[in-house]
Amino acid sequence: MPPEIRAAYARRAAEYAEHLGLITSVHPSDLQLVTGWADRLDGPLIDAGCGPGQWTGYLAERGVRIRGVDLVPGFIDHARRAYPEVSFAIGDIGALPEPPGTVAGVLAWYSLIHHEPKSLRDALSEFARVLRPGGELLLGFFEGPVVEPFEHAITTAYRWPPAALSDELRAAHYDIIETHTRTGPGHRPHGALRACLSARADAARSLPDTSQVESRR
């Protein structure tokens, strides 16, 4: 997360947590989607960019092994107070502390909306690094007809057509499982993609690292 985005969220962390930091503010369809996704997975999950921790806390209360990670200290402080039995850590979702291939699923619910298109694949690749073979990513995002920036309440965010975002996921070695959208009067244009780590990613991880050899030539 760029420093200016982190600072923008830090200034409004308390306000954000008050208005959006409860699971009761979640759309029922999203609650059903995320709950079903998490319940199907067998293993630890990461809530990447967990914000004030509402998803992490809710899923943990259901018995899911999950840990929340966010770079904004105010969010993590709030999450630890609200859900004292749940694991939260201050950290960059672009450099997760988990070892490679150890996580069953990554929830990235609106946590990549501020990534510029050219930097999005780096984050997707980091999620792929920590996912185990066949691990899944569930991504929530602002849907739109074209990839474009817009003035979000905190700072500039991006809308994505599901097809274009799916292409980014495939390029980062994911296979698309499901696509969901919600548009129309009374709804902000919303999208969600469920994807799993492809066999291509597993094969790429198994290749020997030749970078050090190349650097000595």
pLDDT in tens, 21-43: 688 889 999 999 999 999 999 99
* pLDDT tens per residue across span 146-168: 999 998 867 789 999 999 999 99
Name the DSSP class of 122.
H
Residue 67: its H or E element: strand 66-70
Instruction: Please calculate the CA angle 148-149-154 and round it to the nearest 5 degrees.
Output: 150
What residues pair up with 141 in beta bridges, in sequence order? 191
CATH numbers and ranges of domains, the chain: 3-189 (3.40.50.150)
Q: Which two tokens stand for residue 124?
A: 């997707």
Residue with tokens 């960019």: 49
* pLDDT tens per residue across span 190-201: 999 999 999 776
Q: What mean pLDDT is predicted for residues 123-135? A: 97
Residue type, 110: Y
pLDDT score, position 17: 62
Dist. CA 90–CA 74, nearest whole Å: 10
With contact defined as beta carbons under 8 Å apart, do 105 and 139 qualify? no
Stated pTM of the model: 0.87
With contact defined as beta carbons under 8 Å apart, do 157 and 149 qualify? yes
Lowest mean pLDDT: which of 6-10, 104-108, 146-150, 204-208?
204-208
pLDDT score, position 190: 95
